[in-house]
A and B are shown apart, each in its own frame.
Chain A
Amino acid sequence: MTELLEAYRAIQTFLGQGGWVLNWILILTFALWVLIAERAAYYLFSHRKVFNDAVAKWEARPDKRSWHAAQYRTMLISQAKQHIEANVALIKTLVAMAPLFGLLGTVTGMVAVFEVMKVLGTGNARAMASGVSQATIPTMAGMVVAISGLYFSFALKRKADREVERLSDTLVQE
């Protein structure tokens, strides 16, 4: 427990060093991982039910040949797709945004450095250090977040595409 507290305090100091952009990166990370976890939970627990519902509705239909049937099938696939592909695009967007937030932190940190240089001149390296850490830490944070999320964003996209395809293969038109 004490170690956890210690880690929490370390993160607090870390956030303090990184400037306000780091807080935004923290929020972004949290949102990104909420969405990733939601997707994982969906595929683990709910996906089978959605899939089977669509298949059952299709199988219950006696007419599978007419134009109406084709439209009905398209509707079923679209409805399932809404569940399957939910948040996937958002996850990709958040992953792409993370390094950009890092870059934003770089720029604001450099501005802080120049601010210090304006007042104290270039001689005071100690005063510039806080600005430099404000510039570099968000950069690193953005990259770490992007790296951590990149694999999942691709895997989820691939999984969603495959599941939609599988559904449309299962709903056979006669």
Chain B
Amino acid sequence: MIGRYLSALAFAAVVTFGLFWLMQYLIIGQKMSLDESDRVRLIDFVRLQRDTQTETKDRKPPDRPPPPEAPPEPPKMTADPTAAPTANTVGIDAAGLDAGMDLAGPGALGPPADAEAIPLFRMNPQYPDRAASRGIEGYVIMEFTITETGAVTNIQVVEASPPGIFDRAAIRAMERWKYKPKIVDGKPVPRHGVRNQLTFKLGE
């Protein structure tokens, strides 16, 4: 056993020595290849002698284009400006215009007194997650008051299908809407009992 280890020591010493010599040879080997490059002659890139003669280039000014010939003279006027026109005059009579216009009074063209309430700003309601996940569609009809400023107040659900699911979302959206206030005698007045329907449909 001990003899085995002793012989192993000797063997291992040799192997280790060999390995490390190999390693340093791996490095030195590169150095040697560098040394060989000394034999290669380096090309001298620096040019010491320069051409002293400068090449001159004779430049001739380009030929001037010949001056354009004098423009032809304008034709002489032959007519006599002082002579009075001799053409005959044509008499035209004004034609009688008689288109039959039958317009009603000016009030007919104005806005109707009780026009539909026009929303100036609509806010899309948020689709309730519960309904969206279950694929429920429906609508909500609401009755509300439009104030003098055009805001929406006093919202009440008149009809909803299916009941209770979209009410909150519909009211919340409706609260943000802005209407054109009703104007009576040049003054905005609140308008009661306006109805609107919000339809909830799942897109695509």
Within the assembled complex, what's the spacing in Å between the Cα atoms of A63 and B25? 63
A145 pairs with B27, CB closer than 8 A = no
Within the assembled complex, what's the spacing in Å between the Cα atoms of A11 and B18? 10
Contacts of A35 in B (CB 8 A): 8
* Nearest-neighbor residue (CB-CB) of A29 within chain B: B16
Chain B binder among A53-61, A136-144, A166-174: A136-144
Interface size class of B (residues with CB under 8 A): 20 to 34
Within the assembled complex, what's the spacing in Å between the Cα atoms of A40 and B20? 22
Query: Is B133 among interface residues, defined by CB-CB distance under 8 A?
Result: no
Contacts of B25 in A (CB 8 A): 10
* Nearest-neighbor residue (CB-CB) of A145 within chain B: B19
A137 pairs with B16, CB closer than 8 A = no
Query: Is A42 among interface residues, defined by CB-CB distance under 8 A?
Result: yes
Contacts of B127 in A (CB 8 A): none
Within the assembled complex, what's the spacing in Å between the Cα atoms of A30 and B22? 15
Q: Closest Cβ of chain B: how far from A145's Cβ, in Å?
A: 7
Contact of B24 among A13, A33, A38, A45 (CB under 8 A): A13
Interface size class of A (residues with CB under 8 A): 20 to 34
Contacts of A11 in B (CB 8 A): 17, 20-21, 24
* Nearest-neighbor residue (CB-CB) of B5 within chain A: A38
Contacts of A15 in B (CB 8 A): 20
Q: A14-B20, A144-B19, A148-B19 are in contact. Are A37 and B27 (CB under 8 A)?
A: no
Contacts of A26 in B (CB 8 A): 16, 20
Q: Closest Cβ of chain A: how far from B197's Cβ, in Å?
A: 75
Interface residues, chain B, with chain A CB atoms under 8 Å away: 1, 4-5, 7-9, 11-13, 15-17, 19-28
Query: Is A78 among interface residues, defined by CB-CB distance under 8 A?
Result: no
Contact of A37 among B11, B22, B24, B28 (CB under 8 A): B11
Query: Is A36 among interface residues, defined by CB-CB distance under 8 A?
Result: yes
B20 pairs with A42, CB closer than 8 A = no
8 A-B contact pairs sorted by A residue (CB < 8 Å): A7-B17, A11-B24, A15-B20, A33-B12, A38-B5, A40-B8, A41-B8, A148-B19
Cβ-closest 4 pairs across A and B: A33-B12, A37-B8, A14-B24, A37-B11
A10 pairs with B9, CB closer than 8 A = no
B20 pairs with A45, CB closer than 8 A = no
* Nearest-neighbor residue (CB-CB) of B24 within chain A: A14
Q: A7-B21, A14-B23, A144-B23 are in contact. Are A30 and B16 (CB under 8 A)?
A: yes
Query: Is A89 among interface residues, defined by CB-CB distance under 8 A?
Result: no
Within the assembled complex, what's the spacing in Å between the Cα atoms of A57 and B26? 53
Q: Closest Cβ of chain A: how far from B104's Cβ, in Å?
A: 95
